[in-house]
Amino acid sequence: MKFLILSVSAGGGHGHAAEALKDYINLKIPESEIKIIDTLKYINPIIDKVVIGSYLKTLKVTPSLYGKLYNYSEGDYGITNTISAKFNEIMTYKLIPLIDEFSPNILICTHPFTTEMVSIMKSKYNLNIPVMSIITDYYPHGSWLHSYIDAYVVSNKDMVEDMVSKGIPKNTIHDLGIPVNPSFMDKYKKDDTLKELNLNPSKFTILVMGGSLGMGKITDVYHELNKVNKDIQIIVITGKNEKLYNELSILEQSSIKPTKIIGFTDKVNKYMQACDLLLTKPGGLTITEALICGIPLGIFSPIPGQEEKNAEFLLNHNLAINLSDTSKCQEIIESLLQFEDKLAAMKSNCSKFSKPDSGDRIVELIKYLIKNKSISSLKNFDKDYEKDNNIKTFFKSVEEYFMKTAIKIFANN
């Protein structure tokens, strides 16, 4: 069987979900042929640099602007959604040869852009391949929701009725969870891990993270943790943020709390299993991993928009404490450690929302979709596009625009 997974490298979660699913397919359906496409980069590297570069820069420099755009595009406000739909419709043109040549048995999307692109292809052209979309957050923003998607995989049951109210058929929504890499299920002994880090297995251990990019007010949180009047020790994972790693390495030398600073690592599960509390920005994949490890969360620096919605989910279900005001971090952590029942309740709640078998269950759904859907190629796709004499010219103008924009961005950096 052939599987085509369409993702976009905006942050780590979308790509990680795609890679995790690939691993599960290989385990459950041997001799599969699987392609993961970083879709914007495949369509045009310049467009990818501009779109993703602008996205990341907006998050770092003016996150409130991103939040406004996120909320604005959620409603039926016309222009934002129209621009997005038109952009994605144009981009689908470059995917035609790929799909036609590879002839996958199913298309799987792990990003809202690709979900919309595939919806457009199914609605306007001769594409009869089953399509699955895996929503990698804990809230169904409207950018994910489109017609002609055969199956939506969601992280929690709260999303089901929300999506139904927005017009998605209930029988297409499956509460199976976000897949994480099979190796994440490997078990590690807490005492052994802490000893490896020269930390004390008997002390309350707090892990601090900011996703794969090491984003958020991690330094502020670290300063606050050093003020906590309890016997704690700290592990900080800085991801790919070298500046943060160097800064914290200097602060660690004068810290009154035992601390271990770790850069990018593929053993996040090992360190989660060694800790009693995780302080992090609430990315969808990080939440999923924490729930599997049974670790209560403290959430700070949510990205305005999707991560704020993720935070609402966690707080509503008593899975986390709110550390958005990092100046109160010391006070809130001390209170939590004083009332151990609250921490125990949060830990217990993790098991209610954890879905460690997500990958296996998604593969079973994939098998069902392939078995019950007829397959046809995109033979008429190019012909239908040729009916619009301006499409290729328009696409070239879009590429030229992004090329000029990229030159300006790089010139200013």
Q: Spell out the alpha helix ranges (H) of 29-78.
A: 39-43, 45-61, 63-74
Would you say residue 387 has pLDDT above 50? Answer: no
- CA angle, residues 91, 110, 368, in degrees to nearest 5: 110
256/90: higher pLDDT: 256
Rounded to an integer, the average pLDDT of 91-111 is 90
Q: CATH classification of 183-353, choosing from 3.40.50.2000, 3.10.20.30, 3.40.120.10, 2.60.40.1930?
A: 3.40.50.2000
To 10 degrees, the CA torsion angle through 66, 74, 213, 251? 60
Q: Among 48-52, 128-132, 164-168, name the one with the lowest average pLDDT.
A: 48-52
Give the domain 2-178+357-412 fold: Rossmann fold (3.40.50)
Both structure tokens of 44? 């045009």
Q: Spell out the alpha helix ranges (H) of 208-339.
A: 218-225, 242-252, 268-273, 284-293, 306-316, 329-338
Would you say residue 68 has pLDDT above 70? Answer: no
Q: At what angle do helices 340-353 and 284-293 cross, to 10 degrees?
A: 110
Residue 252: predicted pLDDT: 94
Would you say residue 58 has pLDDT above 90? Answer: no
Residue 396: predicted pLDDT: 55
Closest CA to 93 of 402, 406, 391: 391
Q: Spell out the alpha helix ranges (H) of 294-372.
A: 306-316, 329-338, 340-353, 358-371
Residue 54: predicted pLDDT: 56
- Tell me which range, 83-92, 216-225, 380-389, is most confidently predicted by mean pLDDT: 216-225
Residue 97: predicted pLDDT: 86
Residue 158: predicted pLDDT: 96
List the end-to-end C-alpha distance of the chain, in Å, as a whole number. Answer: 45
- For 89, 99, 325, the CA distances from 135, given in Å and listed in that order, are 20, 22, 28
Would you say residue 403 has pLDDT above 60? Answer: no
Residue 306: predicted pLDDT: 86
Q: Among 69-83, 96-110, 333-347, name the one with the lowest average pLDDT.
A: 69-83
387/9: higher pLDDT: 9
Please write the tens of the pLDDT for every residue from 15-39: 999 999 999 999 999 999 999 999 9
Strands 131-134 and 173-175: unpaired
Whether the Cβ atoms of residue 235 and residue 274 lie closer than 8 Å to each other: yes
- Per DSSP, the three-state class of 133 is strand
Note the maximum CA span of the chain: 71
The reply to whether domains 2-178+357-412 and 183-353 share a CATH topology is: yes
Domain ranges across the chain: 2-178+357-412, 183-353
Please write the tens of the pLDDT for every residue from 350-379: 999 999 999 999 999 999 999 987 444 444
Residue 87: predicted pLDDT: 67
| 340 Cβ contact partners less than 8 Å away, ≥ 6 residues apart | none
Residue 77: predicted pLDDT: 42
CA distance 3 to 251: 47
Q: Among 67-71, 304-308, 319-323, name the one with the lowest average pLDDT.
A: 67-71
CA distance 67 to 313: 17
Please write the tens of the pLDDT for every residue from 277-318: 999 999 999 999 999 999 999 999 888 878 999 999 999 999
Phi, psi of 278 (to 5 degrees): -110, 125
Q: Is the pTM of this model over 0.85?
A: no
Closest CA to 222 of 210, 240, 239: 210
Output the average pLDDT for the chain. 85
Confidence label for 380 from pLDDT (cuts 50, 70 and 90): very low
CA distance 265 to 268: 6
Residue 20: predicted pLDDT: 97
140/59: higher pLDDT: 140
CA distance 335 to 385: 62
